[in-house]
Amino acid sequence: MKVLSVRQPWAWLIANGHKDIENRDWSTNHRGPVAIHAGKRLDPEMESIRILCGQRGILLPNHFARGGIVGRVILTDCVSAHPSVWFKGEYGFVLAEAQPLDFIELTGRLGFFDYEFDSEITGLILARFTPKPTAKSPRQKGSTMKRDFMSGYKTHDGPRGSTAQWQAAFNWRMGIDAARAHLKDDSPHDILGVLISATWEEIKRAYRALARQHHPDLGGDAAAFRRVQAAFEILEHNHMKGSL
């Protein structure tokens, strides 16, 4: 079983489904179930994190379990850019289906590490992770580079966008065909504010800044966010084809 050690309170935020990205300066090819291990040390910026979480409507507990397994997730992707408010880069592990577990004391290690739990605990960690076959919706067919992200975010009507705009902005990546159709003849470089000659790193930095600026969960507008997302997906597609 793959285990990933994370400092508190981040481990608690991940295990309880609040934090959908784990940031690292290294990438991984692992996809699938991961047990979340809480390290023995608290993040030194604990008070700042508590304030940040309060601003996002998350009430952190006063005490955290440390030095053992606290939850489980599915690692669905490893990305170098993502619109989640939790993404800081350089790489983000996209997490889904988080669930807290009763504390299991265990010594942690750096990075991913393997640990053989007894069969009962392994079954508990793997429970609900059995893939269920689902038919592709018309929206999914014919699209590329599409991944589920930011599921579970609230939707609302108001100055930051309608419910429909929120759902469009957060439920799915658009896919290259939908992204091109959304922008029509508008230049993705212009939308991201970068030169035609911009490097991939410059494009990612511009995207991250604009995604946070227009992020509806941070007071931005869903329609503006969607344009930024479409522009980035077009340039990401070109980058992956080697035609940026």
87 with 190, same domain: the answer is no
Q: Are 109 and 188 in the same domain?
A: no
Q: Report which residue type is found at 29.
A: N
Distances (CA, A) of 90 to 10, 43, 176, 209, 237: 17, 19, 23, 14, 19
Range with lowest mean pLDDT among 13-22, 62-71, 134-143? 134-143
pLDDT tens digits, residue range 64-88? Answer: 999 999 999 999 999 988 888 888 8
Looking at the structure, do residues 103 and 191 belong to the same domain, yes or no?
no
pLDDT for res 8:
95
Instruction: Looking at the structure, tell me whether residues 101 and 182 fall in a common domain.
Output: no
Q: Are residues 18 and 113 in the same domain?
A: yes
Last residue of a domain, one of 126, 142, 172: 126
Q: Of 172, 180, 163, whose CA–CA distance to 223 is shortest?
A: 163
Phi, psi of 113 (to 5 degrees): -140, 155
Residue 92 parent element (H or E): strand 91-105
**Do 104 and 183 share a domain, yes or no?**
no
Residue 220 is part of which domain span?
163-241
pLDDT of residue 161: 53
10, part of any domain = yes
Residues in the chain, how many?
244
Whole-Å CA distances, 206 to 24, 25, 226: 20, 19, 15
Residue 122's pLDDT is what? Answer: 65
What three-state secondary structure class fits 220?
A: coil
In a domain, 150, yes or no: no
Looking at the structure, tell me whether residues 114 and 12 fall in a common domain. yes
Same domain, 196 and 88: no
Give per-residue pLDDT as tens, 144-176.
333 333 333 444 445 455 555 554 444 445 566
Rounded mean pLDDT of 77-105? 88
The answer to whether residues 94 and 35 belong to one domain is yes
Percent of the chain with pLDDT over 90: 30
Amino acid at 222: A
Within this chain, do residues 100 and 186 fall inside the same structural domain, yes or no? no
- Looking at the domain assignment, is residue 155 inside a domain? no
**Total count of domains within the chain:** 2
Q: Are residues 16 and 77 in the same domain?
A: yes
Residue where one domain finishes, among candidates 126, 147, 172: 126
Instruction: Note whether 120 and 7 are same-domain residues.
Output: yes
Query: What three-state secondary structure class fits 78?
Result: strand
Note whether residue 140 is domain-resident. no
